Structure 1
Amino acid sequence: MIPAKPPARPDRVSLWRYLRLFRADILSAQPAKLYRAWMAEFRTPFFRSYMINDPDLIARVLKDRPDDFPKSDRIGAGLRPLLGESVFLTNGDLWKQQRRIIDPAFAGGRLRDTFPAIKAAGDAAVARLAPLADGTARDIEPETSHAAADVIFRTLFSVPIENLIAAQVFDAFRAYQRTQPILNLAAFIPGPRWMPRFFRRDTRAAARTIRALITEMTARRLAQIEAGTAPDDLATKIMTTADPDTGLTFDVPQMVDQVAIFFLAGHETSAAALAWTLYLLAMHPDWQDRVAAEARTWDGSFSGLSTLKVTRDVFRESLRLYPPVPMMVRQTVKPEIFRDRNVTPGAQVVLSPWHLHRHTRIWDDPDAFDPARWQTENGKTGQRTAYIPFSAGPRVCTGAGFAMIEGAVLLAQLLSAYRFDLVPDRAPMPVAHLTVRTAQGMWLRIEHRQSRSISC
């Protein structure tokens, strides 16, 4: 069986039709030829865009010369009311300063420190699913969102999602994503930062609510730091780390920007990845049983994570088929040559993990779920040259290592306790807005694994 994949559009459509398709779902707005093309050019009256799947070009943009390909503000403009000047949207010296402060919090030694909070969130998720494991068809996306949000709040602020403010932030983020499309006017019409962006009223209201709640949590933490009573979590680490070049630390408004992107990136992407992985395992019960068997041999320790080899390969394969962030946009600042074609300054450069990870010239059987591919030569080559679920190079997601640990831990905990089965006639359809989610939910049946084994 081939996992769910959105239909491609016809090769030629009008600009107006393309804009309507793109606004609804950026994946089904693309033609099928992008799954085998090394590069494609798209022209509008306002700019030119180049999607690149050539591994050499991707390496040039992300690894070799990243300063020559800064992030484009065409997509970022739509997120600025919420994310402000977060590390996700900035470029140049400001971005480098932010990374010098943030990166130490996610260094290898610190990941060990976050493990107990991740595991506690997983234990809570297992407990919440217990009354739902009756074989009834259920949309599991709310559950994976709850679990991922719990991880973020426990690791960042040492509070569970049941904390009143944490729950309010979670609810406000859901409201924001229902109102904010990935595109607004700024994505297609160039203009200065002060140009009106025409956000919906409820979008701005949700952003204000989120930022007010995060400001409250951040101000409280700053007071705890000054009083010497702050817990040793990610928020404390980031707020007390000084830029080694300038000696500056984040103030409250700057920290609010960073917490907003930590929650959006760390919660939304993890929730999507976990939901798609459970769907793939429901689709392939043989792999699900292998993960469950491996999980039951895990001793529950951080050092024991090295034994979850099958679990990691399953999660890695899920990120290949359903990369949480389907497209990334950079911009040229000087003349370039892409595959013998002249590219002018100001052109948009689109990198699409969705298409790259399913490229027919790179991967064997690219649309199939096959965790064993990562032990093959083709899989190892693809991982080096064409696998970017967290981007690559200097701008690689600072939480990539954290996300891989979180994915393995939550999967091991959930699969050791429960079995997930497909629901006939309720196959999910991927749609992409901020992340790759489903059009009508992720419907699965959940059963207690122990009772299922006894009944068989």
Structure 2
Amino acid sequence: MFCSRYSYDFRPSQGPKEIDLLEWTSYAALDIIGLTSFKCQLGALDGGSSEMANVSKLVFTTLSKIPLGPFTILVPALWRFLPERILTVLEKVPNKESELLRKLKSVATATARQTIENVARDHSKDIVTILAGASDENLMDEDEILSQLATFTLGGENTAAAAIAWTLYELGRRPDYQARVREEIRRGPADYDSTPLLNAAINETLRLHPIVYTFLRYAVDNDTIPFSEPVQTRTGETWNEVPVEKGQMVMISPYTYNQLPGIWGDNVDDWVPERFVDLEGKTRISVGLHANLLNFGDGVRGCIG
């Protein structure tokens, strides 16, 4: 939709032109979420006037202007050391960013409630129909369902938008590979199994530009974490595992894992989608939650993407 609407503005005859790609991919992601989660047209790309689209755009423009600095990392890291009563007070301190996020959650929840009430109870496999069926069978209560749909909006829009923007950026830097992807799409139906080159481009972008650089987990019991390779400490000791205590925080870095030469080769700093495709043009067999990447975590807390 974006290409069909704006291709005239970006004709080669007009020369190079700078655009904020992330802004437009954010609108596209919101429209996709509207169709898949709420079965409705939000019209973000078309300049629609739906309340969710308007609030989401306001959140994007506001949060994108927040300057990054040491306190951006330090403050969240210190929160877990504050007493709960102080956190409760801080949560209610008014600020523009928090108010906008609360407003977006409120609008998403209201839209989700209306959707659940009106959705047809059929055998469709979209998200909202499945959740509505869970409600009818008392497998999930209303609050759980509304929270799930709101989470798809709040958690899925910006992450999907950033991943799409980075993929388009890297394809723009590799016109040769871009041409191969275009030809692959033209040859047949653009479904997942028939587009290994496109899938490889997406996976390589996720590897090189993970949207979430780190995430935290807490040990539920005293345990040890084994190393894949021995590690030598500053004192000369060789460790094959590290002990963790119950309640101890463990920081996991998809970015670090995705940059390991032992797994991905010596060219880890380069965008090379071919690493995900074998010589026959088929996707390589991989391990893990998705494509041997750590971006989506693993186990019961793995991200559904």
Equivalent position of 2:5 in the other structure = 128
Q: Structure 1 residues 149 and 161, CA, compared in 2 at 3 Å: closer, same or farther?
A: same
The 8 Å contact of residues 172 and 210 in structure 1, kept in 2 or not, is answered as: no
Q: Percent identity?
A: 24
Q: Structure 1 residues 128 and 198, CA, compared in 2 at 3 Å: closer, same or farther?
A: farther
Q: Residue 218 of structure 1: CA displacement? A: 2.2
Q: Structure 1 residues 352 and 273, CA, compared in 2 at 3 Å: closer, same or farther?
A: same
Residue 208 (structure 1) aligned with residue 94 (structure 2): no
2:199 partner letter = R
Q: Structure 1 residues 257 and 237, CA, compared in 2 at 3 Å: closer, same or farther?
A: same
2:105 partner letter = R
Q: Structure 1 residues 380 and 192, CA, compared in 2 at 3 Å: closer, same or farther?
A: farther
Residue 367 (structure 1) aligned with residue 269 (structure 2): yes
Tell me, in whole angstroms, the C-alpha distance in 2 between the residues paired with 1:161 and 1:316: 28
1:351 partner letter = I
Q: Residue 254 of structure 1: CA displacement? A: 3.3
Q: Residue 127 of structure 1: CA displacement? A: 2.2
Q: Please list every run of at least 4 consecutive aligned residues from structure 1 whose deviation after the TM superposition is greater than 6 angstroms.
A: none
Equivalent position of 1:159 in the other structure = 40
Equivalent position of 1:142 in the other structure = 23
Equivalent position of 1:50 in the other structure = none
Residue 234 (structure 1) aligned with residue 127 (structure 2): yes
- Please give the secondary structure, in 2, of the residue aligned with 1:361: helix
Q: Deviations over 1:120-161 (max 9, x none)?
A: xxxx23323323323422221111111111110111112223
Q: Structure 1 residues 255 and 132, CA, compared in 2 at 3 Å: closer, same or farther?
A: farther
- Please give the secondary structure, in 1, of the residue aligned with 2:183: helix
Q: Deviations over 1:394-426 (max 9, x none)?
A: 32222x3xxxxxxxxxxxxxxxxxxxxxxxxxx
Q: Deviations over 1:243-289 (max 9, x none)?
A: 98xx34231x4333222321133211111111111111111111111
Equivalent position of 1:171 in the other structure = 57
Tell me, in whole angstroms, the C-alpha distance in 1 between the residues paired with 2:171 and 2:52: 30
User: Which of 258, 261, 270 is 1:357 aligned to?
Assistant: 258
Equivalent position of 2:141 in the other structure = 250
Tell me, in whole angstroms, the C-alpha distance in 2 between the residues paired with 1:142 and 1:167: 13
Q: Residue 354 of structure 1: CA displacement? A: 0.8
1:384 partner letter = V
The 8 Å contact of residues 358 and 367 in structure 1, kept in 2 or not, is answered as: yes
The 8 Å contact of residues 108 and 153 in structure 2, kept in 1 or not, is answered as: no
- Please give the secondary structure, in 1, of the residue aligned with 2:263: coil
Equivalent position of 2:155 in the other structure = 265
- Please give the secondary structure, in 2, of the residue aligned with 1:345: coil
User: Which of 184, 191, 204 is 2:83 aligned to?
Assistant: 191
The 8 Å contact of residues 240 and 249 in structure 1, kept in 2 or not, is answered as: no
Equivalent position of 1:396 in the other structure = 302
Q: Structure 1 residues 318 and 243, CA, compared in 2 at 3 Å: closer, same or farther?
A: farther
The 8 Å contact of residues 220 and 247 in structure 2, kept in 1 or not, is answered as: yes
- Please give the secondary structure, in 1, of the residue aligned with 2:210: coil
The 8 Å contact of residues 158 and 231 in structure 1, kept in 2 or not, is answered as: no
User: After the TM superposition, which residues 19-418 of structure 1 pair with which residues of structure 2 at under 5 Å, given as runs?
Assistant: 124-134=1-11, 135-162=16-43, 164-174=50-60, 177-178=63-64, 183-184=75-76, 187-192=79-84, 195-196=87-88, 198=90, 201-225=95-119, 233-242=126-135, 247-251=138-142, 253-300=143-190, 302=191, 305-338=192-225, 339-364=240-265, 365-375=267-277, 383-384=286-287, 387-398=293-304, 400=305
Tell me, in whole angstroms, the C-alpha distance in 1 between the residues paired with 2:9 and 2:79: 42
Extract unaligned runs of 5+ from structure 1.
Answer: 1-123, 401-456
Tell me, in whole angstroms, the C-alpha distance in 2 between the residues paired with 1:369 and 1:185: 31
Q: Residue 376 of structure 1: CA displacement? A: 5.5
Give the RMSD, CA atoms, in angstroms: 3.1
TM-score by length of 1: 0.52
Tell me, in whole angstroms, the C-alpha distance in 2 between the residues paired with 1:355 and 1:276: 18
Q: Which moved more, 1:234-243 or 1:323-332?
A: 234-243
Q: Residue 351 of structure 1: CA displacement? A: 1.3
Q: Deviations over 1:206-251 (max 9, x none)?
A: 12311221232123224324xx58995422321331498xx34231
The 8 Å contact of residues 332 and 348 in structure 1, kept in 2 or not, is answered as: yes
Aligned pair count reads: 266
Tell me, in whole angstroms, the C-alpha distance in 1 between the residues paired with 2:251 and 2:84: 21
Tell me, in whole angstroms, the C-alpha distance in 1 between the residues paired with 2:183 and 2:139: 49
The 8 Å contact of residues 109 and 150 in structure 2, kept in 1 or not, is answered as: no
Tell me, in whole angstroms, the C-alpha distance in 1 between the residues paired with 2:54 and 2:179: 37
1:348 partner letter = M
Tell me, in whole angstroms, the C-alpha distance in 1 between the residues paired with 2:160 and 2:210: 10
Equivalent position of 1:69 in the other structure = none
Tell me, in whole angstroms, the C-alpha distance in 1 between the residues paired with 2:10 and 2:131: 39
